[in-house]
Structure 1
Amino acid sequence: MSDSTAPLGQAKYQVRLDWGRAGAERILTGAHVVVLVDALQFTTAVVLAAEQGTETALADARGDASGIAAALAGRDVVVLAASLRNRTAVAERILALQEERGERVVVAIVAAGERTRAGADAARDGELRFAIEDQLVAGAVVDALVGVGIDHTSPEAAVASAAFEGLRHAATHLIGASGSAMELTGADPGLRADVRLATQRDVTRVVPELRDGVFRA
């Protein structure tokens, strides 16, 4: 658990944002809800499965985002899977949780990022990489939270929100044209349809929540 006085903990803010598993630990102190974002892979797949009435078990999942979720399992926090598809529904679920609690709910948004893959610089293979698609979708979630009145955002969350707000009309194109999308579709052209699904905004009301090692709506 991170020290609530740590300079990178964003402890005085209601809405926080950081990257990867280490980032999740940094901003977890005092949080009631963790919103996990992996725009082109895990969380969008979880949302799509929930739309079809299917659960997603962490035991069957791979990747950093599922590892972050597994690390959060058993913590005293609500863990939600967010994508561009359900970002407003996620914000409204958090507002409902806040109303149920009768007190301010602290939200930690964790962008999973991506891992570099073997290439010219093999020494950097596996390093956590900033991913614009996760930045935009995390910012879209912050934007939706601000829209429902949960707006005491950290600088990190505010910058992500501003990026989405300024680029909202281009977000679909930018995510689809990102290096991550190109890498995915280059390895498997059949994933182009999945990328298109990941770029659709506010098309579902499902909000998968992690319970007993399983994301279910």
Structure 2
Amino acid sequence: MIRTLCEWGLPGAQSLAPGADVLVVIDVLSFSTCVDVATSRGARVYPYPSRDRSAAVAEAGRLGAELAGKRRDPGYSLSPDTLTSLPSGAALVLPSPNGARISFAARDLGRPVLVGCLRNASAVADRAAYLAGPTGTIALIPAGETWPDGSLRPAIEDQIGAGAIADRLTNAHSANLSPESQIARAAFAASSLPETLRCSVSGRELTGYGFPQDIDMAAALNVSTTAPLLQDGAFIA
């Protein structure tokens, strides 16, 4: 029977990786949603952990890739709506302090890494079950946010995203959920999409910044069949 575990952030990924067969990084608002939108269009997405603009520019140049900026920047950005025009075959460096940071570090953890969100929850759950095998272990890693001092702020949208994946693993693959995974699943079952995301701390922040469309895109449950897998440093469909 598949076993499903759930722990927060990079420390959670590092803790669970030795006993897991596959890791699933969940950062709903908005790294994971951006990766789903981009890879579903046939793009490659390179997660980048730093907000240092000059370092990110250098990395994009080294890879021959486009660089996604901040939401208010012109062109491609961490706002998923800006990625709907990415051409097939494009390469994109996507900086993010949470989901990208975990994904970038997970390259060295020796396990397959998927990125999941609400848009592709079922597809990612099915792919994770395939990679783990019938008796394997899947580690769900909700990214969370960070407080100004750098400490972890658990984010309800990421717990809901993890719960949507856990729900599919239970219903379609009879997975055995850890208590943490059960709580995430219960959070998903209790949520009302997209309203729960709109009312969350992260959702209110995005609305205040003028990006309510990011919430609507992120809350669209199972509209994507893409399960982005990290290969050679990039997420691909």
TM over 0.5: yes
In structure 1, the gaps of 5 or more residues are: 1-12, 118-124
RMSD across aligned C-alpha pairs, in angstroms? 1.6
What's the TM-score once normalised by structure 2's chain length?
A: 0.76
> Which residue of 2 is the match for residue 166 of structure 1?
190
Residues 113-134 of structure 1, C-alpha deviations (whole Å, 9 max, x = no match): 01124xxxxxxx3321011111
Q: Structure 1 counterpart of 2:170, which letter?
A: V
Which of residues 14, 17, 39 is equivalent to 1:28? 17
User: Which secondary structure state, in structure 1, belongs to the residue aligned with residue 135 of structure 2?
Assistant: coil
Contact kept? 1:95, 1:150, Cα under 8 Å: no
Number of matched pairs: 191
Q: Deviations over 1:49-82 (max 9, x none)?
A: 1122211112432212111111110332110010
* Separation in 2, partners of 1:19, 1:97: 21
Give the Cα–Cα distance (whole angstroms) in 2 for the partners of residues 64 and 14 of structure 1.
25
Amino acid at match of 2:7: D
| Secondary structure of 2:18 counterpart | coil
In percent, how many aligned pairs have the same letter?
35
- Aligned-partner Cα distance in 2 for 1:66–1:94: 19
Q: 1:76 aligns with which of 88, 110, 114?
A: 110
> In structure 1, what is the Cα distance between the partners aligned to 2:142 and 2:236?
20
Aligned counterparts of 1:130 and 1:93: Cα–Cα separation in 2 = 26
CA distance in 2 between counterparts of 1:31 and 1:71 reads 16
CA drift of 1:207 comes to: 0.7
Task: Specify which of 130, 140, 143 is matched with residue 167 of structure 2.
Answer: 143
Indicate the SS of the match to 1:207. coil
2:214 to 194, 210, 213: 194
Q: Decide which moves more: 27-36 or 81-90.
A: 27-36
Give the AA of the match of 2:19. Answer: G
Structure 1 contact 164–171 (Cα < 8 Å) conserved: no
The CA distance in 2 between the partners of 1:171 and 1:27, in whole Å, is 29
Q: Which runs of 4+ in 1 moved over 4 A?
A: none
Contact 1:95 / 1:148 at 8 angstroms: preserved in 2? no
Q: Deviations over 1:150-204 (max 9, x none)?
A: 421111011111221233xx132101221101112323x1x21121100000101
TM-score (norm 1): 0.83
Matches within 5 A, 1:12-161: 14-59=3-48, 60=93, 61-98=95-132, 101=133, 103-117=134-148, 125-161=149-185
Query: What is the CA–CA distance in structure 1 between the aligned matches of 2:176 and 2:114, rounded to whole Å?
Result: 20
Amino acid paired to 1:96: Y
Deviation at 1:84, TM superposition (A): 0.3
The residue identity in structure 1 corresponding to 2:171 is: G
Query: Taking structure 1 as reference, are residues 32 and 201 closer, same or farther at Cα in structure 2, changes over 3 Å only?
Result: same
AA aligned opposite 1:29: P
Q: Name the CA distance, whole Å, in 2 between partners of 1:73 and 1:27.
A: 14
Q: How far apart are the structure 2 equivalents of 1:108 and 1:97?
A: 12
